[in-house]
Structure 1
Amino acid sequence: MAYKKYPSQPKRDHYQEVTDQIVAALEQGIIPWRRTWNQGACGMPMNCTTGRFYRGINTLLLGLAQAISFGDDPRWCSYRQAQARGWQVRGGERGRTIVFYKRILKSQEARDDGSVPYFQLLRFSTVFHASQIEGIPEYIKPEPGSVSWQTPEAIDTIIDNSGVDVRYGGGQAFYSPSTDRVQMPVREVFESPEAFAQTAAHELGHYAANDRRLGISEGGRFGSRAYAAEELRVEIGSAMVCSTLGIDPDISNTAAYLANWLERLKNDNREIFRAAADAQRIADYLLGFHPDYAAYIAGQGREEADDKGTEDDSEVQEAA
């Protein structure tokens, strides 16, 4: 008996799908990483079954989806995680794609330097917002001031503990790679403590990205494509810092780089993944200088997977 052959479906390109989402938002004048995420638990999308914050590209994807389609509840989880709690995703609800990395050992034998060789698989999975799930407990938003690092003054704690050389005076804010210092106008010229914190977080992002620390900077003069690439990473990273500190990340110089960012993202559908990963490194580096936040994260634990346990609905592609 002959069997009818059906044409195989083309493999989904998740990299392109994610990039298209970000590009479409930028072309509409929506800056995904500038969302405040409504100051949920530390202002960031979080997994409601593990209590962990989403990281990297997932912060952008879920933050954007939440701002457009959902309310101020920052909670998400997979279908399987909801079922394990006795909750039920309502029929017909559309989930959102997230990504996480999984390390695979290449060999059990260590290298000469003692490290173990491995490669990373990038898994794509689906999560649902709390508003799409029946039976989930009501979200109780933290009271203002209940989280010690959610204040504009928290940026001063980060500055003091980082040891960065910050000079005050003049009418410009910038990081100088040659002198490895940050220049800021005096506080009195800023409209509010929040405005000072926003600007400081951005310039500290350039400080963190420098070769002396994270090595993320591509160099290049102000306004160049290389500098625009660094600016993309620093802006996303500083927005993550501001959101964690409970501050609206209103960065003002996006328009100067928007064309370069769009060109770069359109020509390389993995660039936003690399940029978001670098931005997360910048945010982690700076936030690590706030002792209360660092202690909280240490108590949570941090895993390579952004949402461990979602393999029930995942696809694998080669990592960027």
Structure 2
Amino acid sequence: MRSETRNPRDHYAETTDQIIAALEAGTPPWRQPWDNAKAGGPSMPQNIVTGVRYRGINVLTLGMSPLAFATSDPRWATYKQAQERKWQVRKGARGVTGFFYRRIEIDRGEGDPAGDGGEGGKWFPLLRSFTLFHASQIDGVPDYCPPDIEEAPWRAPDAAETIVRNSRAEVRVGGDRAFYSTLTDHVQMPPQHAFRSPAAWSSVQLHELGHWSGAAHRLNRDMSGRFGSRVYSQEELRVELAQMMICAELGIRDCDFTNGAAYLAHWLKKLRGDKKEIFRAAADAQRIADYLLSFHPDYAMRGASPS
């Protein structure tokens, strides 16, 4: 009797296909979960038990779930976490896949030219998955109480300005375009009254500060792409994801995204050709968000932990 071998799931391809489908529908999925009219305001997904925020690609996978629009509760948990606390995941509830990387060591053989360097084995990251359930799918979970300004002082109205000021980035105001100049290392912003709200002004300023973070003496990303090029499009994807993460963390409700249909086409082409690109983009976006949020003293003292 011949046994059948089940092919392992390709999580890179599955996640990329989900995002491609959302992009083809006309809206990047990361622009939706923190729509105030749908989700009760911006909030980063977090673990029910530990309170730790999910990061990187998990922000996208959790944000793409319809449950992100049904309630303002940002909390998630594994089945085991619920079981350990006598909570009950409802029968038939479908979880959302989350991801983490585990470091795997491979011993270097005698024929490996690098084997004599005394560095031991070679490490590489292995993608692993787990399943998360939203708080609304779990009976017995305590009610969600969003943090007030005393618990999360970095969500104060002046948080974005605090970050800009402490970063010591040069911000010039004038004209009708918002951009970061690699030549002069400055951020250019239109006057604040040109934006539909103070929050929109703040979110765009944070977007341009995201580009500013890529300079060689900061996070050192490839900033050589010209407007409309593939490299430029890759940078825009990373910064837009970071902008979403920062706006959600700071509680900025009017996050103004400026990238349009032309960038959606660029992103679709790149994602179709490289199933790991969205994972790399999300990881880079998290680095950008962490870097900029560290300029807020209250957030820096909080000691954000990865998840």
Structure-1-length-normalised TM-score:
0.85
Report the equivalent of 2:30.
33
Letter in 1 for 2:46: M
Q: Which runs of 5+ in 1 are unaligned?
A: 307-320
Report the equivalent of 2:78.
78
Report the equivalent of 1:9.
6
Letter in 1 for 2:34: T
Report the equivalent of 2:270.
264
SS of aligned partner of 1:131: helix
- After superposition, the Cα gap between the structure-2 partners of 1:42 and 1:24, relative to the gap in structure 1 and judged at 3 Å, is closer
- After superposition, the Cα gap between the structure-2 partners of 1:49 and 1:68, relative to the gap in structure 1 and judged at 3 Å, is closer
Letter in 1 for 2:224: G
Letter in 1 for 2:287: R
Letter in 2 for 1:235: E
Structure 1 stretch displaced more, 156-165 or 26-35: 26-35
Among candidates 105, 123, 129, match of residue 128 of structure 2: 123
Among candidates 123, 141, 146, match of residue 146 of structure 2: 141
Alignment of 1:292 with 2:289, yes or no, is no
- Tell me the percent identity: 52
Letter in 1 for 2:238: R
Alignment of 1:1-320 (within 5 A): 4-34=1-31, 35-36=33-34, 43-66=43-66, 70-105=70-105, 118-143=123-148, 147-248=152-253, 249-296=255-302, 298=303, 302-303=305-306, 306=307
Structure 1 stretch displaced more, 180-189 or 134-143: 134-143
Structure 1 stretch displaced more, 61-70 or 227-236: 61-70
Q: Shift of residue 151 of structure 1?
A: 3.5
- After superposition, the Cα gap between the structure-2 partners of 1:227 and 1:190, relative to the gap in structure 1 and judged at 3 Å, is same
Q: Aligned-residue CA RMSD in angstroms?
A: 2.7
Q: Shift of residue 105 of structure 1?
A: 4.8
Q: Is the 8 A contact 1:40 1:74 kept in 2?
A: no
- CA–CA distance in 2 between the matches of 1:231 and 1:169? 22
Q: Shift of residue 74 of structure 1?
A: 0.5
Q: Is the 8 A contact 1:218 1:229 kept in 2?
A: no
SS of aligned partner of 1:119: strand
Q: Shift of residue 242 of structure 1?
A: 1.0
SS of aligned partner of 2:27: coil
Letter in 2 for 1:43: S
Letter in 1 for 2:291: Y
Q: Is the 8 A contact 2:62 2:68 kept in 1?
A: no
- After superposition, the Cα gap between the structure-2 partners of 1:245 and 1:115, relative to the gap in structure 1 and judged at 3 Å, is farther
Q: String of CA shifts for 1:266-296, please: whole Å, max 9, x gaps.
A: 1111000000000000000000000111111
Q: Is the 8 A contact 2:34 2:41 kept in 1?
A: no
Q: Is the 8 A contact 1:220 1:226 kept in 2?
A: yes
Q: Is the 8 A contact 1:95 1:128 kept in 2?
A: yes
Letter in 2 for 1:284: D
- CA–CA distance in 1 between the matches of 2:290 and 2:59? 13
Q: Is the 8 A contact 2:87 2:138 kept in 1?
A: yes
Q: Shift of residue 47 of structure 1?
A: 0.5
Q: Is the 8 A contact 1:96 1:127 kept in 2?
A: yes
Q: Which runs of 5+ in 2 are unaligned?
A: 108-115
- CA–CA distance in 2 between the matches of 1:284 and 1:67? 26
- CA–CA distance in 1 between the matches of 2:42 and 2:268? 29
Letter in 2 for 1:227: Y
- CA–CA distance in 1 between the matches of 2:175 and 2:223? 27
Letter in 1 for 2:169: V
